[in-house]
Structure 1
Amino acid sequence: MITIISGTNRPNSNTLKIAKYYQNSLLKKGLETQIFNLEDLPDNLIKTDLYGKRSEAFQPIQELIAGTEKFLFIIPEYNGSFPGVLKTFIDACNFPESFYNKKACLVGISSGKYGNIRGVDHFAGICSYLHLHVMPLRIHISAIKTEMNEAFEFYKEDTLKFTNEQMDKFILF
């Protein structure tokens, strides 16, 4: 099973739009995926699912993560790194079995000009600790608001080229 993680809980985020773009593009290439949107985390996650506790609301999410073999993380830039809710989500998942020896692909996005390079690097460090194997080709998409058309699809030649290359490699990874 392959899961795309929309790495923020911000409503109507560009992150979710990009996750859906990757899902549709991968489906056209013959790869079925599912999206887990961090907006769907339980509202009381911090009180109910950290430090060895498990709520009924988080259990299906834990089962989804445990059953996933490959992850594609869409990671927006928040304050020079990645969203705290993404780290909280990782912390709530069972360790080590949730991510141990599984595979991940990382996509950084930002409204600025660096495409969340620092945040993706920070997240890659966490992946290393979790023994989550990260595909070497990481994409950093800057000025995200100018990268997509009205249908929320990439249209710029370079972005299409690099995202397609990343998806082709992710399929083989």
Structure 2
Amino acid sequence: MTTIISGTNREGSNTLKLAEYYHRQLSERGFDSEILSLCELPGDLIKSDLYGKRSEAFQSIQEKISASSKFIFVIPEYNGSFPGVLKTFIDACTFPESFFGKKAALVGLSSGKYGNIRGIDHFTGICHYINMHVLPLRIHIPNIRKEFDENGDLFNEDTVKFTNQQIERFIEF
């Protein structure tokens, strides 16, 4: 199973829109995936699911992660890196089996002009530490507010070209 992780708990985010776009693109190619929005995390995650604790609310999320062999992380830029809730989520998952030896593609986005280059680099380091295999083609989408059409699809020619390349390589990965 492939899980697309929308890497923020911000309601109505462009990150979730981009995760949904990737989900549709994979589906059009006959490749099954599911989206996990970090909005689904328990509100008390820091108290309920760290340091060996496991809440009932997080258990279904953990099961989805455990059943996944591939991930697409869609990660917005927060303060020159990635959201702290994404790191907390990784920390809450059972270590090492949640991610060990599994495959990941990374997609960065920002409202600014760099597409979360630094955050994707930071997150790549974490992926390597937890022994994930990261697809070398990492995507950075700047000015995300100008990338979607009225249907929630990407329309900028270069962005569509590079996301299509990443999706095709991810399927083969």
Same-fold call, TM > 0.5? yes
Quote the residue 2:145 is aligned against: 145
Quote the residue 2:13 is aligned against: 13
Quote the residue 2:126 is aligned against: 126
Give the letter for the 1:50 counterpart. L
2:112 aligned with 1:102: no
Quote the residue 1:172 is aligned against: 172
Whole-Å separation in 2 of the counterparts to 1:32 and 1:52: 31
- Structure 1 segments, 4+ long, off by >4 Å, are none
TM-score, scaled to structure 1: 0.99
SS at match of 1:58: helix
Q: Which runs of 5+ in 1 are unaligned?
A: none
Whole-Å separation in 2 of the counterparts to 1:85 and 1:110: 17
Give the letter for the 1:53 counterpart. K
C-alpha RMSD of the superposition: 0.4
Instruction: Map 1:7-156; keep pairs closer than 5 Å.
Output: 7-156=7-156
Q: CA deviation at 1:152?
A: 1.1
Quote the residue 1:159 is aligned against: 159
Give the letter for the 2:121 counterpart. D
TM-score, scaled to structure 2: 0.99
SS at match of 2:108: strand
Whole-Å separation in 1 of the counterparts to 2:116 and 2:156: 19
Aligned length: 173
Whole-Å separation in 1 of the counterparts to 2:81 and 2:74: 13
Whole-Å separation in 1 of the counterparts to 2:62 and 2:30: 26
Q: CA deviation at 1:31?
A: 0.4
Q: CA deviation at 1:151?
A: 1.0
Deviations 1:37-86 (CA, angstroms, capped at 9, x unpaired) = 00000011000100111111111111100000000000000000000000
Give the letter for the 1:43 counterpart. G
Q: CA deviation at 1:30?
A: 1.1
Give the letter for the 1:69 counterpart. S
Deviations 1:68-123 (CA, angstroms, capped at 9, x unpaired) = 00000000000000000000000000000000000000000000000000000000
Whole-Å separation in 2 of the counterparts to 1:56 and 1:157: 44
Whole-Å separation in 1 of the counterparts to 2:132 and 2:42: 24
Whole-Å separation in 2 of the counterparts to 1:42 and 1:162: 34
Whole-Å separation in 1 of the counterparts to 2:172 and 2:76: 25
Q: Which runs of 5+ in 2 are unaligned?
A: none
